[in-house]
């Protein structure tokens, strides 16, 4: 309920549409309610007195009221749709904005499958609920109340039939609405699972093909899909039962009305037209109740959608800028870790333990260590993709938590381990690194990343289009474009996370040379499993099991670090012995 209240503020800008829609609907309802009364007059006065002129007059009146009703109904639909569609669009925009601000940890909490369901299904459910509320929810109760009032005024003798039927109908609607709300929240959870599975399958389609695991994946998807189907069936079964049940009650009402009516007509206290009008009104009332119950069920369904949407809005972003960040002078690129501890799960094992080191501005820092020892995690703390649990990460002596996030991140060029490019041209992807980049900037960055040679071979060069996930370029080309995107920023701090793993030795040498010659001002962090990639670094950090085992130049480490010596020996085949 609270969640819905929070979201309803999105209707405010469209309040006029939300008022005009139901207002026009009132006109349609009024015209609908007029029809049986006009018909009753036609039968009891016009036809009974064989007054053709009166019948024609009422016929014209019926036609005019039907046309007015039609205009009211169409107008109401248009305005209700305008309000609901704009309302949903604004919510979708803000959910997207919020998820963009999510830290990695925030995203992990939801899971991408659930976020996709929220951005698509849940918002669509809410949009549908608003349309139905503005249109049908006004129409349904108005038709119902209008019919009850008219029967009270014109056919009071038959009113006891309504008195018996209405409480049963209302109790039915109440029960079905509450139950459908519960069932649809299960449907949404099942939909999350289907979306998660689908997303995983699409992202890993090449691996599935390569391993010929179609059947395995299909059976996993089938399980999620079957579960969704079962949940949907249970919910739909409930909904479809309501209508016949209500029809049954109303039909009993009609029979009772006819029976009572015939007695009253034979007693001379009631006219036949009144019975006809009563049956019509009973049908209108049923119509009103059925549409109201449909809306109520849609609203009940939308409550759980609203809750899930509000969960996104309420999610506390764990990486935020402090209230008055220190603007400070331009970043020079000195990076220091002071006794840093970090764990991915707040009560889990530490992935980084007591890490301390200092990198002077412009230095090249190599990071080496066994798989899973925490190298990537360490560099992710520099642009604040995660914050340490203890200790501090400082840039130019200022804690990164005290810096404006934008200033921090624009000073950093990050080349992640897994190159991620976006669909669009190569130019679009490079401008992702620097929006105002000139053609010269692009040429230089591509040159430094050893990407020029293959870009030159593409049609349209920088205009060459990449498909979604950049599936039309090779792994090594992806890595080089990802590097060019970081280089183009001319960042003060450049982080290369194992970014030359898929690049040939010649291209890697070209990148190394560019780093030495063109990016002398940048502090460069190079994570690599190959000593050859970091051998020239001013400082090499040797990591083992989340700890900084040793640090120094290649020469010093050969003398002081057994771990480093072992790696060197295994890669060069040369035994190094130091006493
Ligand atoms: N998002 C995450 N959530 C939970 N644990 C994680 C996450 N990312 C990494 N880890 C764990 O943290 C540890 C360090 O991972 P990290 O990626 O920093 O290692 P690495 O040294 O860069 O490894 P590699 O050389 O294979 O890239 C590993 O045990 C890994 O399983």
Residues near 368 by Cβ (< 8 Å), separated by ≥ 6? Answer: 375, 527, 528, 529, 531, 534, 540, 541, 542, 543, 564, 567
Contact, 476 vs 396, CB < 8 A?
no
Nearest atom, ligand 1, residue 543 CA: 21
Contact 352, 342 (CB under 8 A): yes
Among 208-222, 278-292, 533-547, top mean pLDDT goes to 533-547
SS3 416: coil
Domains by residue range for the chain, with CATH: 2-314 (1.20.1560.10), 325-411+491-579 (3.40.50.300), 420-490 (3.40.50.300)
Among candidate residues 562, 497, 565, the one with its CA nearest the CA of residue 531: 565
Report whether pLDDT(578) > 70.
no
pLDDT higher than 70, residue 62: yes
**Cα 546 to ligand 1 centroid, rounded to whole Å:** 10
pLDDT tens digits, 314-365? 998 888 888 888 888 889 999 999 999 999 887 778 999 999 999 999 999 9
Ligand 1 mutation target, pool 377, 382, 534, 545, most atoms within 8 A of CB: 377
For residue 34, how far is its CA from the centre of ligand 1 (angstroms)? 72
Which residue has a Cα nearest atom 10 of ligand 1? 344
For ligand 1, whether the C-beta of 46 sits within 6 Å is: no
ipTM: 0.96
Q: Measure 486 CA to ligand 1 centroid, in angstroms.
A: 22
What are the angstrom distances between the C-alpha of 259 and each of 51, 172, 279, 535? Answer: 29, 25, 12, 101
Give the DSSP per-residue string, 238-290.
Answer: HHHHHHHHHHHHHHHHHHHHHHHHHHHHHHTSS-HHHHHHHHHHHHHHHHHHH
Q: Is 460 in the pocket of ligand 1 (CB under 6 A)?
A: no
Of the candidates 553, 563, 94, which has an alpha carbon nearest to the alpha carbon of residue 363? 553
Query: pTM higher than 0.90, yes or no?
Result: no
From ligand 1's centre to the CA of 371, what distance in Å?
Answer: 8
Residue 387 CA, ligand 1 centroid: distance in Å: 15
Whether pLDDT at 264 is above 60: yes
Mutate to test the pocket of ligand 1, among 346, 373, 533 (most ligand atoms within 8 A of CB): 373
Ligand 1 atom nearest 374 alpha carbon: 18
Mean pLDDT of 495-524: 82
- Of 553, 554, 481, 484, whose CA–CA distance to 519 is shortest? 484
Give strand pairing partners of 493: 412, 523
- Among 375, 418, 546, 563, name the best residue to mutate to test ligand 1's pocket (greatest count of ligand atoms within 8 A of Cβ): 375
Q: Is the CB of 432 under 6 A from ligand 1?
A: no
Q: Which residue's CA is the closest to the ligand 1 atom numbered 2?
A: 344
Q: Which among 564, 515, 180 is positioned nearest to 364, based on CA atoms? A: 515
Q: Whose CA is nearest to atom 20 of ligand 1?
A: 372
In this structure, which residue's CA is closest to atom 26 in ligand 1? 371
Q: What is the pLDDT of residues 29-49, one digit of tens each?
A: 889 888 888 888 888 888 888
Q: What is the distance of C-alpha 250 from the center of its chain?
A: 43
Residue-averaged pLDDT of the chain = 88
Phi, psi for 568 (deg, rounded to 5): -60, -45
Residues 6+ apart with CB under 8 A from 266: none
What CA–CA distance (Å, rounded) separates 482 from 428? 12
For the record, the structure tokens of 291 come out as 């549409």
How far apart CA 162 and CA 253 sit, in angstroms, is: 7
Ligand 1 center from residue 376 Cα (angstroms): 7
pLDDT at 500: 77
Q: How far is CA 40 from the centre of its chain?
A: 54
Question: Is the shortest distance between the CB of 351 and ligand 1 below 6 Å?
Answer: yes
Task: Name the β-bridge partners of 466.
Answer: 424
Q: State the distance from the centre of ligand 1 to the C-alpha of 360, rounded, in angstroms.
A: 26
Contact in structure between 441 and 434 (CB atoms under 8 Å):
yes
Q: Name the closest-CA residue to atom 6, ligand 1.
A: 344
Alpha helices in 501-561 (DSSP H): 505-517, 554-560
Q: With a 6 A CB cut-off, is 377 part of the ligand 1 pocket?
A: yes
Ligand 1 neighbour 375 (Cβ under 6 A): yes
pLDDT tens digits, 131-163: 988 887 777 888 888 888 888 888 888 888 888
Q: State yes or no: pLDDT of 206 exceeds 80.
A: no
Distance of CA 383 from the midpoint of ligand 1 (Å): 17
User: What is the C-alpha to C-alpha distance for residues 276 and 265, in angstroms, rounded to an integer?
Assistant: 12
Ligand 1 centroid distance, CA of 378 (Å): 10
Å from CA of 351 to ligand 1 middle: 8
Query: What is the whole-number distance in angstroms between the Cα of residue 373 and the centre of ligand 1?
Result: 7
d(CA 523, CA 511): 15
**Which residue shows structure tokens 């018996």?**
164
pLDDT digits (tens, 9 = 90+) for 369-425: 988 999 999 999 999 999 999 999 999 999 999 999 989 999 999 998 888 888 899
H or E element in which residue 219 lies? helix 214-267
Q: What is the mean pLDDT of residues 239-252?
A: 87
In this predicted structure, what is the pLDDT of residue 114? 86
- Residue 29 CA to ligand 1 center (angstroms) comes to 63
Mean pLDDT of all residues in 171-195: 87
Contact yes or no for 511/503 (Cβ under 8 A): yes
Task: Report DSSP state, residue 459.
Answer: T
% of the chain exceeding 70 in pLDDT: 98
Ligand 1 nearest atom to the CA of residue 105, by list position: 1
Mean pLDDT over 433-457 rounds to: 89
What is residue 503's DSSP assignment?
S
Exposed (0-12), middle (13-18) or buried (19+): which is 139, by Cβ within 10 Å? buried
Contacts of 522 (CB under 8 A, 6+ apart): 333, 362, 413, 490, 491, 492, 493, 494
Region of 278 (left: φ > 0; alpha: ψ -120 to 50; beta: rest) is alpha
């Amino acid at each position: 309920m609270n969640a819905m209240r929070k979201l309803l503020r999105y209707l405010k800008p469209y309040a006029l549409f939300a008022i005009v829609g139901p207002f026009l609907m009132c006109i349609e309802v009024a015209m609908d309610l007029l029809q049986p009364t006009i018909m009753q007059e036609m039968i009891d006065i016009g036809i009974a007195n064989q007054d053709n002129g009166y019948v024609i007059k009422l016929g014209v009146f019926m036609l005019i009221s039907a046309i007015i009703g039609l205009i009211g109904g169409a107008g109401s639909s248009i305005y209700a749709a305008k309000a609901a569609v704009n309302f949903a669009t604004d919510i979708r925009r803000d959910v997207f904005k919020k998820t963009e601000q999510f830290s990695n940890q925030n995203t992990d909490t939801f899971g991408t499958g659930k976020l996709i369901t929220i951005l698509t299904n849940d918002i669509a459910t809410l949009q549908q609920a608003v349309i139905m509320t503005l249109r049908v929810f006004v129409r349904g109760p108005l038709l119902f109340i209008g019919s009850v009032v008219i029967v009270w005024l014109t056919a009071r003798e038959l009113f006891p039939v309504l008195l018996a039927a209405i409480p049963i109908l209302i109790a039915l609607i109440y029960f079905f609405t509450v139950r459908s709300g519960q069932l649809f929240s299960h449907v949404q959870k099942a939909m999350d699972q289907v979306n998660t599975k689908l997303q995983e399958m699409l992202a890993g389609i090449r691996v599935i093909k390569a391993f010929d695991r179609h059947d395995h994946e299909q059976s996993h998807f089938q399980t999620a899909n079957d579960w969704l189907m079962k949940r949907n069936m249970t919910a739909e079964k409930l909904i479809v039962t309501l209508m016949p049940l209500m029809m049954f009650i109303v039909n009993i009402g009609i029979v009772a009305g006819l029976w009572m009516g015939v007695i009253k007509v034979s007693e001379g206290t009631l006219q036949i037209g009144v019975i006809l009008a009563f049956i019509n009104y009973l049908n209108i009332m049923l119509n009103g109740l059925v549409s109201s119950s449909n809306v109520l069920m849609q609203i009940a369904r939308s409550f759980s959608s609203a809750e899930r949407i509000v969960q996104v809005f309420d999610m506390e972003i764990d990486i935020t800028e402090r209230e008055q960040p220190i603007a400070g002078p331009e970043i020079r690129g000195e990076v220091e870790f002071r006794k840093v501890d970090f764990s991915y799960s707040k009560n889990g094992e530490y992935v980084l333990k007591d890490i301390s080191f200092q990198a002077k501005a412009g230095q090249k820092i190599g990071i080496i260590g066994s798989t899973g020892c925490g190298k990537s995690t360490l560099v992710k703390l520099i642009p604040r993709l995660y914050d340490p649990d203890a200790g501090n990460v400082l840039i130019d002596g200022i804690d990164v938590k005290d810096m404006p996030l934008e200033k921090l991140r624009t000073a950093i060029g990050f080349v992640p381990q897994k190159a991620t490019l976006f669909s669009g041209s190569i130019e679009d992807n490079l401008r992702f690194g620097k929006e105002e980049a000139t053609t010269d900037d692009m040429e230089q960055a591509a040159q430094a990343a050893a990407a020029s040679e293959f870009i030159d071979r593409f049609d349209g060069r920088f205009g060459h289009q990449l498909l979604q996930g950049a599936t039309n370029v090779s792994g090594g080309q992806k890595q080089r474009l990802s590097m060019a995107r970081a280089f183009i920023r001319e960042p003060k701090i450049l982080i290369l996370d194992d970014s030359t793993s898929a690049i040939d030795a010649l291209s890697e040498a070209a990148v190394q040379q560019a780093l030495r010659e063109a990016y002398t001002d940048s502090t460069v962090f190079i994570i690599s499993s190959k000593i050859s990639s970091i051998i020239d670094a001013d400082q090499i950090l040797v990591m083992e099991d989340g700890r900084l085992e040793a640090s120094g130049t290649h020469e010093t480490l050969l003398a002081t670090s057994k771990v480093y010596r072992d790696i060197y020996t295994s890669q060069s085949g040369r035994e190094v012995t130091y006493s």
